[in-house]
Amino acid sequence: MAYKPPLESDCVYHIYNRGIDSCRLFYQPDHYTYFLEKYAYYIPPIADTLAYCLMGNHFHFLVRIKSEAARTVLREKPSPKGKYITLNPSRQIGHLCNSYAQTINHRLNRTGALFEEDFERKKVDSEQYFTNMIEYIHRNPQKHGIYEDFMDYPYSSYQSHLSQKPTRLARKEVLDWFGGTNEYQKFHQEMQDWRLIEKYIIEFD
């Protein structure tokens, strides 16, 4: 397995993974919901979520890893190592995938791995990359021919950014980045030149 650098505090990453041998991850509508419930348990303690999209056989997330201090929490069980533990971001994402896979295997009476061995990560190291990656993640369903209009796709953060309902997303940060709701929508309505971030893009069939 190729070495993958650790996720660094206070950095933004594009996180993605797919089903092993491109198999499906989400077989039924409630599987998407269940995955997001698991995500809401494992990820907020270690990262802020800026954007996401769940596809049939893969997922994309744009997250900012929290500081070490923010990731230090009370242990769920007493330990001789102390009252507190600093959560490891990579391990938490691994727990998310493993927990989801175990449940889906049980529900579908299947065995073996569900995900690729380990999730992929790319550090977002420029403003242009950050801006275009949000639109790229949201446009995935239309790009892959799964949905006619990605703005209506129910398993991405696009509509959540526009909603007034409570959310765990870093909604205000994203909308402020684009200059407000109108500019956010305008940017998504205009087809962007993905060649600007071509070296960062992962393609899943």
pLDDT tens sequence across 25-52: 999 999 999 999 999 999 999 999 999 9
Please give the model's pTM, rounded to 2 decimal places.
0.91
Asked if residue 1 belongs to a domain, the reply is no
Asked if residue 3 belongs to a domain, the reply is no
- Among 158, 46, 57, which Cα is nearest to 116's? 57
Question: 158 CB contacts (<8 Å, ≥6 apart)?
Answer: 138, 150, 151, 188
Asked if residue 153 belongs to a domain, the reply is yes
Full domain range(s) for residue 154: 12-200
Asked if residue 190 belongs to a domain, the reply is yes
- Among 163, 168, 158, which Cα is nearest to 137's? 158
Q: What is the mean pLDDT of residues 139-157?
A: 92
Distance (Å, whole) CA 145 – CA 140: 9
Model confidence at 205, pLDDT cuts 50, 70, 90, reads: very low
Q: pLDDT digits over 87-138, tens only? A: 999 999 999 999 999 999 999 999 999 998 789 999 999 999 999 999 999 9
In the predicted model, is pLDDT for residue 204 greater than 80?
no
Q: pLDDT digits over 53-76, tens only? A: 999 999 999 999 999 999 999 988
Distance (Å, whole) CA 101 – CA 38: 11
Mean pLDDT over the full length of the chain? 91
**CATH number of the domain enclosing 142:** 3.30.70.1290
Q: What is the mean pLDDT of residues 170-189?
A: 96
Asked if residue 4 belongs to a domain, the reply is no
Number of domains in the chain: 1
- Among 84, 81, 82, which Cα is nearest to 73's? 84
